[in-house]
Amino acid sequence: MTTSDRVLERLTRLHPKKIDLSLGRMERLLARLGHPERDLPPVVHVAGTNGKGSTVAYLRAIAEAAGLRVHAYTSPHLVRFAERIRLAGELIGEDALTALLEECERANGEAPITFFEVTTAAALLAFARTPADLVLLEVGLGGRLDATNVVTMPRLCVITPVDLDHRDFLGETIAAIAAEKAGILKPDVPAVVGPQTAEALAVICDRADDLDAPLIVAGADFTARPVEDGFLFTGAGLTDWRLPLPALAGPHQIANAASAVAAALLLDLPEAAIEIGIAKAEWPARLQRLTRGPLPALLPGGELWLDGGHNPHAARALAEALAAMTARDGRPLALVTGLLSTKDAAGYFGAFAALHPPVVAVTIPGEDAARPAVEVAEAAAGAGLAAEVADNIEAAVARAAALAGQGARVMICGSLYLAGRVLADNG
């Protein structure tokens, strides 16, 4: 355990007995820290259900290709907490992280505060003290009452696709969740809006109208059309601008990349940097192929992939990508899946019904909120999929490969927490 891990463990004990989404605790702590949120480089604030991290990854790659120094705050981490905070292009160092966390701990005292709130305060403190040209700030949960929403005047907002997730906190309908996401909009601050359902878009537009916030909307103000080896972007005065294939795999990444392009153009970033960034962005556990380590070695002649999408919308995007892969090369498919107990297991597996992959269920190691493997398998069976359980990830991969057969493509999926464990253990 690192020194920063020990501080994080202490901070976790301050978590309120009842979670209530509120900015009060955050505002109190930031006041004690001297309001670092008021002394940041220009901020791009990104909310949405799916695609936030990918969109941030594209924007970071674009801005860095343009020569900018970029801070980035994302969550959750996969292996190490330091992955969440990137200072001027580099992951925060252990000593700096520990010092910031201890400073926030002293300022907060024994007052109740959530893990995400206090670590967001640490990130804002780091961003205020380290020179940079841009801050990419990803919402943790919702938007309106998220800890990141203490930034009152961002340079730009982005809302990626909105769908059902975290319903116990954000609401039971698309409209209710969209209202929470639209809470990041600010008066007169432009916002790029990725592809949305009609229900979500109506809510976002109403909120923007109330604030006089200009919207740049996918499908109306900009479009992206896939072509061989890339996609055509139209918008901001550009017609059928040919851009390279996004670095991140999957058809859905064209939409994420297009939103990043629209945002980059609003930030006046050069077209050459946009082209470079789209082709070079990196974001682990988003349709990531694993080629080295003990797990891929279990599939001689096959392929092992990893994806952290954890809700029905993400599952539909993953299923679409897998269907395209299967159509292209005919490899048999199997899933290794672990889910949190808070997630819609039936909706998740329903997305794969047309593909009929066998499922090997696992309990996510080390996660108190992990859904037991038996329950994961039952949910898969309820969606019409053949399912069984395995005791651990290695056994699950080996069994999935055997079930699919020669040349199998095995997809480990269902949770970013599972993905983090795979990346940590696979070396």
Looking at the DSSP bridge assignments, the partners of residue 157 are: 45, 191
Instruction: Using pLDDT thresholds of 50, 70 and 90, give the confidence band for residue 156.
Output: very high
User: Going by DSSP bridges, is the β-strand pair 85-87/70-73 parallel, antiparallel, or unpaired?
Assistant: antiparallel
CATH number of 3-280: 3.40.1190.10
- Maximum Cα interatomic distance, the chain, rounded to a whole number of Å: 61
Which among 115, 103, 108, 84 is positioned nearest to 11, based on CA atoms?
115
How far, CA to CA in Å, does 339 sit from each of 42, 75, 297, 391, 400? 37, 18, 24, 15, 17
Is the Cβ–Cβ distance between 297 and 315 less than 8 Å? no
59-87 b/e (C-beta count within 10 Å ≥ 16 → b) = bbbbbbbbebbbbbbbbeebeebbbbbbb
Q: For residue range 98-155, what is the model confidence (pLDDT) as tens digits?
A: 999 999 999 999 999 999 999 999 999 999 999 999 999 999 988 999 999 999 999 9
The Cα–Cα gap between 258 and 47 comes to 16
Q: For residue range 172-193, what is the model confidence (pLDDT) as tens digits?
A: 899 999 999 999 999 999 999 9
Q: Of 3-7, 220-224, 238-242, 299-303, which range is least confident?
A: 3-7
Given a cut of 90, whether residue 288 has pLDDT beyond it is yes
Given a cut of 80, whether residue 167 has pLDDT beyond it is no
CATH level 3 topology of 288-426: Protein-Tyrosine Phosphatase; Chain A (3.90.190)
Is the Cβ–Cβ distance between 409 and 325 less than 8 Å? yes
Domain ranges of the chain: 3-280, 288-426
Instruction: Using pLDDT thresholds of 50, 70 and 90, give the confidence band for residue 19.
Output: low
| Close Cβ partners of 269 (under 8 Å, ≥ 6 residues apart) | 62, 63, 66, 68
First to last CA, the chain: 17
| Close Cβ partners of 383 (under 8 Å, ≥ 6 residues apart) | 346, 349, 350, 352, 353
Greater confidence (310 vs 79) lies with 79
Hunting for tokens 């020194």 — which residue is that? 3
Measured from the Cβ of residue 402, the count of other Cβ atoms closer than 10 Å reads: 13
Given a cut of 60, whether residue 17 has pLDDT beyond it is no
- Global pTM reads 0.92
Give the per-residue pLDDT at 164.
Answer: 75
Give the per-residue pLDDT at 141.
Answer: 85
Q: What is the mean pLDDT of residues 27-54?
A: 96
Is the Cβ–Cβ distance between 293 and 314 less than 8 Å? no
Is the Cβ–Cβ distance between 315 and 347 less than 8 Å? yes
Mean pLDDT of the chain: 94
Q: What is the mean pLDDT of residues 65-71?
A: 98
Q: Strand 215-217's sheet: what is its strand order?
A: 90-91, 85-87, 70-73, 134-138, 43-47, 156-159, 191-193, 215-217
